[in-house]
Amino acid sequence: MYTRFRITWKHRCYLCQNPLDVQIQPTLPTTWFIICLRTFKQLYPFGFINNLSIYKFFGLRVRRVCICCYEGRPERVPVNMLNRREVLGKKIRIRSGSKTERQLYNWFEAFNRFINKPDINDILTDPITTISSEDLRLFDERHRYRYQTELSEQPR
C-alpha cells in the first residue's frame, strides 16, 4: 500500500532561513499513518522542537524566528563574508540548531521508504526494545569479570 503525504511550512526563520512550524498532511488521514509515524520517530529520533516559531524584536520591528535563533546570541560575521555580501548581493545564512530544509527532506524521505516497506506490519506489531546505557555498562562489567576469571583458571 502506497501512502502519500505532504510536508508544508508557511514561514522561514528571519535569521537562518530554516523552515518554521513544519506540518505533515497525509492524503488519507488514518490511525495507521499515525502509528507508523510514532514508530518511526521512536526508531529514528528527530527533533522538530527547534523549528517552532517565536517572535523576536529587532529594533522596533518584530520578526518570526526559530527557537535557536531566539535563545542564541547573534553570530559574529567575518569581514570577508560582509565584503561578499556587498559585492555579490548574497544574503548571509546564519547557522543555528534548527533543522534545515535538506535535513527535513531526508528524514521524511526515509519515513516514506519506511511506510512502503513490504514487512511494515511485522515492524509495527513487534514491541520496540531499548537498551539503556546502564544495561550496557553492566554487561561490560560482567563480561570483564568473566574474562578475568577464565584467565586466572588457565594453567600457567
DSSP string for the chain: ----EEEE-SEE-TTT--EES-EEEESS--HHHHHHHHHHHHHS----GGG-EEEEEETTEEEEEEHHHHHSPPPPPPHHHHHHHHHH-PPPPPP-SSPPHHHHHHHHHHHHHHHT-TTHHHHHHSPPP---HHHHHHHHHHHHHHHHHHHHHS--
Place of cell 518584530: 62
Q: Is residue 18 scored above 70 in pLDDT? A: yes
Q: Is residue 78 scored above 80 in pLDDT? A: no
∠86-87-88 over CA atoms, to 5°?
Answer: 100
Residue 52's φ and ψ, nearest 5 degrees, are -80, 150
Confidence of residue 141 (pLDDT cuts 50, 70, 90): low
The single-letter DSSP state of residue 97 is S
Euclidean distance between CA atoms 25 and 34, whole angstroms = 11
Euclidean distance between CA atoms 109 and 102, whole angstroms = 10
Q: From 121, 120, 114, select the one nearest 41 (Cα to Cα).
A: 114
| The predicted structure's pLDDT at residue 142 | 52
Which tens digit of pLDDT belongs to each residue from 31-64? Answer: 888 888 888 888 888 888 889 999 999 889 999 9
Across the range 100-128, mean pLDDT stands at 85
| The predicted structure's pLDDT at residue 96 | 74
Q: Is residue 151 scored above 80 in pLDDT? A: no
Residue 40's φ and ψ, nearest 5 degrees, are -65, -40
**Helix (H/G/I), strand (E/B), else coil: 130:** coil
